[in-house]
């Protein structure tokens, strides 16, 4: 027996038998079991399990009519809303592959996802459709989108039926205004209602557990983002396991404000809830007042979040008016939960905040704190069916308990490899004791009770309010600025976000005095997602380099951390 099994939830097995079906089957089952039950709640309107099933079925038929075949990749680019869920399952129903992307990405960033995934169809919302169309138009004709499906947020709710408190005033224009359709070179643009009116018959559903289901992208130390190949079985494992871990049932209500384009929101929240027959209350963006009201109104029982959300909610002047008594499980990851905040939750509401850990490559949780015995500021114990070790990053030999090394993971949730990057896949895996382990790139230790703690990162990564920012990707985009000769991106401390993005820039000759830091910041916000864009720019005459000419980013990071930069 593993040492951490002494603290395992007594009601649960150490490993589970994963259903030998596709993710689409979960919707089929619950549409039959709970046809009238609310699957989704958005801006005061409910979508039943039967309606979710039927809309996904019709959209799958439309995708097939547009030429989508088994294994084809379809881009999905929107904030949390019912259309995201319908489109996600429609793509799976059509035996195709979901390529979820962050709607904060701009055209220059989206080019890579369309080109690398080979997507010919994209589904988006009116507020970001023009960026998707621009990205397609920037590509050679043979690589452009053939079809762009655009939904308006009001396709999912009636603005006239909104009750007081259903929507923040600042969202009125964003959510209630229909945006004009963008032109698309070499392709057709369609509206959501027309696609759902399709009366063709969807193709036979043949996707199985080993077929590719989702291709989420993650960045790394160098180059452009890489697609993580997740078949149905890896996501199914963590959907079922997360549901069991959180004691989910058809009588549960989950709040989903973590973006579903992110692996945690997609798997640990959406798929886990819909597998269980839960009701999923959707928030398109974080708003503490609305979140508090929704938890109170819908008697939310489970909430997976980022610790900064809890901190913000507790800072609300209306916090005492919110009724959190329905919450049974609460937890999350992406950043450490401050001990004082976790203690306040425990003292006031008897809620034990359970932190977890995982990567895009591990379908979200590879570790989670036992709900009945969590440790604060801790990754938790290896998740169901998972073997995790601490190894020497150089020799890959397992290290004794308490020593710092690289966290490595083997389990049924681990992805198959990187899309079109066999060399990166080979470098990410190694064999130990006859098992295939994935190298996380994170340094940590394990205590005497088998709980894991993160201590540092091997990979260059900035964690800004739970959003992972990869400096190499930001640098690659910034090099497109005509005034930038060299740039190095590092992390700077931020009281609220934890870390924020800072760029150390060397300007081209003759540009000194012509281009300001504010000019660089404005350009970055125009050309990349807001969470990636630097918040600080510092000019330098040169960047420190090694003997081989490589920029010594770690030296700049250490100088920043020490207050010398």
β-partners of residue 240 are: none
pLDDT at res. 552: 84
The tens digit of pLDDT for each residue in 259-274 reads 999 999 999 999 999 9
Which fold would CATH assign to domain 462-561? GMP Synthetase; Chain A, domain 3 (3.30.300)
Distance in angstroms between the alpha carbons of the first and the last residue of the chain: 50
Select from 517, 504, 493 the least CA-distant residue to 551.
504
- 3-state SS record for 127-140: CCHHHHHHHHHCCC
How far is the C-alpha of 59 from the C-alpha of 151, rounded, in Å?
12
The tens digit of pLDDT for each residue in 388-445 reads 999 999 999 999 999 999 999 999 999 999 999 999 999 999 999 999 999 999 899 9
How far is the C-alpha of 127 from the C-alpha of 282, rounded, in Å?
18
- 3-state SS record for 471-518: HHHHHHHHCCCCCEEEEEEEEEEECCCEEEEEEEEEECCCCCCCCCHH
- The radius of gyration computed from the CA coordinates of the chain, to the nearest angstrom, equals 23
* pTM given for the model: 0.88
pLDDT at res. 349: 87
Residue 486 — pLDDT band, cuts 50, 70, 90?
Answer: confident
Average per-residue pLDDT for the chain: 93
pLDDT at res. 124: 98
Share of the chain above pLDDT 70, in %: 98
* pLDDT above 60 (res 548): no
The tens digit of pLDDT for each residue in 447-463 reads 999 999 988 766 778 88
Residue 11 — pLDDT band, cuts 50, 70, 90?
Answer: very high
The tens digit of pLDDT for each residue in 104-157 reads 999 999 999 999 999 999 999 999 999 999 999 999 999 999 999 999 999 999
The tens digit of pLDDT for each residue in 172-218 reads 999 999 999 999 999 999 999 999 999 999 999 999 999 999 999 98
How far is the C-alpha of 233 from the C-alpha of 226, rounded, in Å?
20
How far is the C-alpha of 285 from the C-alpha of 283, rounded, in Å?
6
The tens digit of pLDDT for each residue in 344-366 reads 888 888 899 999 999 999 999 99
């Amino acid at each position: 027996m593993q040492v951490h099994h002494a603290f395992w939830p007594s009601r649960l097995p150490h490993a589970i038998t994963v259903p030998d079906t596709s993710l689409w089957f979960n919707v089929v089952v619950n549409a039959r079991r709970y046809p009238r039950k609310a699957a989704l709640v958005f801006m005061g309107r409910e979508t039943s399990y039967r309606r979710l099933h039927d809309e996904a079925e019709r959209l799958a038929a439309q995708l097939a009519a547009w030429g989508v075949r088994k294994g084809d990749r379809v881009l999905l680019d929107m904030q949390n809303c019912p259309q995201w869920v319908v489109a996600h399952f429609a793509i799976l129903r059509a035996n195709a592959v979901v390529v979820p992307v962050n709607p904060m990405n701009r055209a220059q960033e989206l080019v890579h996802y369309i080109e690398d995934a080979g997507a010919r169809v994209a589904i988006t919302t009116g507020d970001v459709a023009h960026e998707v169309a621009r990205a397609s138009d920037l590509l050679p004709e043979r690589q452009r989108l053939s079809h762009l499906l655009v939904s308006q947020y009001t396709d999912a709710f009636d603005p006239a039926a909104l009750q007081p408190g259903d929507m923040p005033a600042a969202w009125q224009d964003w959510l209630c205004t229909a945006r004009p359709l963008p032109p698309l070179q070499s392709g057709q643009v369609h509206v959501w209602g027309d696609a759902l009116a399709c009366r063709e018959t969807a193709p036979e559903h043949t996707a199985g557990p080993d077929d590719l289901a989702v291709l989420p992208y993650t960045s790394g130390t160098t180059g452009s983002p890489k697609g993580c190949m997740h078949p149905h079985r890896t996501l199914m494992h963590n959907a079922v396991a997360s549901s069991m871990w959180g004691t989910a049932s058809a009588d549960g209500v989950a709040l989903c404000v973590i973006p579903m384009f992110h692996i945690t929101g997609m798997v640990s929240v959406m798929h886990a809830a819909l597998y269980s027959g839960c009701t999923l209350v959707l928030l398109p963006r974080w708003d503490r007042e609305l979140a508090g009201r929704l938890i109170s109104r819908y008697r939310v029982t489970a909430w997976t979040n980022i610790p900064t959300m809890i901190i913000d909610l507790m800072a609300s002047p209306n916090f005492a008016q919110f009724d959190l008594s329905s919450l049974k499980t609460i937890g999350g990851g992406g950043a450490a939960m401050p001990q004082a905040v976790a203690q306040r939750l425990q003292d006031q509401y008897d809620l034990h905040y359970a932190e977890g850990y995982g990567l895009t490559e591990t379908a979200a949780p590879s570790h989670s704190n036992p709900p009945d015995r969590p440790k604060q500021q801790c990754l938790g114990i290896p998740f169901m069916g998972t073997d995790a070790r601490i190894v020497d990053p150089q020799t890959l030999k397992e290290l004794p308990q308490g020593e710092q090394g690289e966290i490595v993971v083997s389990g049924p949730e681990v992805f198959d490899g990187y899309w079109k990057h066999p060399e990166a896949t080979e470098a990410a895996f190694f064999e130990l004791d006859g098992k295939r382990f994935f190298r996380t790139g994170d340094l940590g230790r394990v205590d005497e009770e088998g709980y894991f703690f993160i201590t540092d990162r091997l990979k260059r990564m900035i964690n800004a309010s739970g959003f992972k920012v990869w400096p190499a990707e930001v640098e690659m985009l910034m090099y497109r600025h005509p005034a930038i000769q060299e740039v190095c991106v590092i992390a700077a401390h931020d009281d609220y976000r934890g870390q924020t993005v800072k760029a150390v820039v060397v300007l081209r000759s003759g540009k000194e005095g012509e281009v300001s830091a504010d000019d660089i910041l404005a350009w970055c916000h125009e050309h990349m997602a807001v969470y990636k864009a630097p918040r600080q720019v510092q000019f330098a005459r040169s960047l420190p380099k090694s003997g081989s000419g490589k920029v010594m980013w770690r030296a700049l990071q250490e100088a920043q951390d020490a207050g010398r930069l």
